Amino acid sequence: MEIRWLEGFIAVAEELHFSNAAIRLGMPQSPLSQLIRRLESELGQKLFDRSTRSVELTAAGRAFLPHARGIVASAAVAREAVNAAEGEIVGVVRIGFSGVLNYSTLPLLTSEVHKRLPNVELELVGQKLTREAVSLLRLGALDITLMGLPIEDPEIETRLISLEEFCVVLPKDHRLAGEGVVDLVDLAKDGFVTTPEFAGSVFRNSTFQLCAEAGFVPRISQQVNDPYMALLLAR
């Protein structure tokens, strides 16, 4: 059994799609399928139920997944320990981000890490809104996430790294589109595009709080997870 077999298994188990897993691993799909078959042969168990339309973990696959993750993680720690003994700082840091608050911070962060810590790999995980990002931090699936504050969670340590202005995006033909400053109360009868409530987004919570301070509850006309799509819908 080889570590790369386990890495392939984990990728397919998480993606539940051989093509996506192959892209994630940077390898063709055919060798990945062969790798999975070798692993199944060695274990003597079928790990996936495959069809032309779907891929699902079998009971054996679900049971094996946490152990595979543990073995791969232990191997990574072992490699890091060997390199650390030689005075090198190495490893992988998984950074979550939403895509709306990170135009200035994320490029600078990645650039500085590459300059100062060339042996540290950054794994960027996008489209993670507040609630999901916090959950992934708790599970250890993310090491750091860039998100709006405040975060009321005693298990999560936060640090302020930048301040962003709150603004409103309006259609070109909106009656207030030419104004330099917009009073929120003037938008009380307009529909708002925001993130879904279940996402627990700080952006959404801040929107409701500011509207409440202006004396009204915003009417939500559309809810989307993707902040870029929200901008397009607002046009």
**Which residue ranges does the chain devote to CATH 1.10.10.10?**
3-85
Domain 91-146 matching CATH 3.30.70.1230: the answer reads no
- Tokens encoding 134: 């916090």
For domain 3-85, give the fold.
Arc Repressor Mutant, subunit A (1.10.10)
Tell whether the model's pLDDT for residue 82 goes beyond 70. Answer: no
- Note the pLDDT of residue 23: 87
pTM, two decimals, is: 0.55
The pairing of beta strand 191-194 with beta strand 144-146: unpaired
Q: Are 61 and 43 in contact (CB under 8 A)?
A: no
**Which residue ranges does the chain devote to CATH 3.40.190.10?**
91-146
Per residue in 129-174, pLDDT (tens digit) is: 788 888 888 888 888 888 888 888 888 888 888 777 788 889 888 9
Per residue in 23-38, pLDDT (tens digit) is: 888 888 889 999 999 9
d(CA 46, CA 235): 50
Tell whether the model's pLDDT for residue 99 goes beyond 80. Answer: no
Distances (CA, A) of 151 to 34, 202, 227: 45, 8, 19
- Note the pLDDT of residue 179: 85
pLDDT band at residue 126 using 50, 70 and 90 as cut-offs: confident
